[in-house]
Structure formats: structure tokens, C-alpha cells
Amino acid sequence: MKLFGRRTGRDGSRPALSGAVSRSGVPITGGWPRSYEAQLREGFAGNAVVQRAVRVVADALAGAPLVASDPALIALASVRSGGQALLATVAAHLMLHGNAYIQVRRDGEGGVAELYALRPERVSVETDAGGWPAAYRYRVGERVERLAANPIWSLASPSASYGMTLSTLHDLGLVPEAISVCNHMAALVGMIVAGAGVALLPEILVRGHLAKFELVRLLPEMPETRLAFVVAWQGAAEQAVLRHVVELARQCTSFDIESSSGP
């Protein structure tokens, strides 16, 4: 088991960007409102046609059918936020601000309890020494809440990987506010590949993603964490399927496999 996260292409510090130059490199001149709030008022608040267009698209997205492996996930995504459907709020934020943020509130066991759409104009990015996002800050008046940029994921307890994740974080001197949990290994790998955070994963399950440069091993100097599996069956019985599973395990894992003849 090793710690993996999405490859971000951090080959150096980000270049400094000037607010007086557009993305294409052309200097910004003229009377166009410069502040964030002024541009939003100019382009949306005072334009009934734009308001209607945003509302039509947002409502259409909110009304789209959802499919999930767990009905509870659909219930979470179907809640209302700020007086309208969560997905409609997120769609409107994305169209108006270019960004959308959803805060995940967790229950006492680390599971997802509620989802909240955060107002993008209240979100600021906290960068590391290289200029890359390390966390997000959400400001409401004088109150500021710090939100982690790369949440830590694990299979839910009582999976052995959950305890291993806690132990690994402790050895690294890290004390996370919460660990995001998932009940399906394939779904967990998919979320890490999508950039949802980092997780302690068996390397054999992510070799394909490593080869395609979709994931990168974090903290290469960290010792490899080993997970023990035990398979047992009656010696007198013919258990062809189990024996086949053991043989496959011998071929596809680097773990040591010990055999013993029990009673």
C-alpha cells in the first residue's frame, strides 16, 4: 500500500500573472469595470436576458435525472442550497463566476452528511511556496473558514485500509480534520484519478494509471505499508476455486504468501 494522488504537472512555480493583462497577453484598457463585483453587476444583475438564460440552463441541469450506486447519494445531490436546488446553484455559479465550490459536511463517522454550495466570490486560494493551491479560505464578514484542498480518502472502517491510513498519517505527523470514506475500491481509485484527493492504495491496482501519468506516488521515501490477507479452506476438501484464487494472487501481487497446513 502506497500513497497516491493525481499528477498535476507541478514542474516548478507558477508564473506570476498580472491583472492588467488578459489571458491572451493583450493589455486591458478602456472603461470596462475592473473589479469582480462590478463586472458581475454589469454583465448579469442589470441584464434581464442574461438572468433568464442562466436560470433556464441551471433549472434544466437541476432537473436532469441522476443515477447513483446508492440512493442516499441522489438525496444528497437533490437538496436545496440558498433557496434553490443544489445543482442549479452550482450551475449558476459556474456560468457566472467560472468556478463552483461545494463544501462537504461530515457526520461523526466521517461519512458525507450534507452538501453546501459556496459563493465563489467569497472563496480565496491559499497557495504553497511554489504558488500552487494548498487550501481554500471561505470568508463571510470577519469569519474565515479554512478548507483543505486535497482531502484524504480511504475505504470505510472496518476495512483494514482505514486503520492503515490513520497509522500512516500518524507516522507522518499529520492530523487531518476528517478522512473521506468510500465503500468501493474501484470508485475510490476513480475519485483519486479524477483529482478528488489522495489515498493509500495497492500499487497493483493503479499501475495502469501510473503508466498513463494520471497518478503519481506521493512521498516516495515513505516505507511501503503491507496488508495481510488470509485465505483458508479444508485440506481434505477439493476447493478448486479457492486454490485458483490463491494461484492468481501469487502471480499478481508482490506480497509474501505463506502457506500452512492447519488442523
Domain count, the chain: 1
Q: How confident is the model at residue 121 (pLDDT cuts 50, 70, 90)?
A: confident
Where on the phi/psi map is residue 173: left (φ > 0), alpha (ψ -120 to 50), or beta?
left
Omega before 158 within 30 of 0, i.e. cis: yes
Q: 169 is in which domain, residue-wise? A: 152-217
pLDDT in tens, 220-237: 777 777 766 666 666 655
Residue 108 confidence (pLDDT): 63
**pLDDT tens readout for residues 148-167:** 666 788 888 778 888 888 88
**108 or 142, which is more confident:** 142
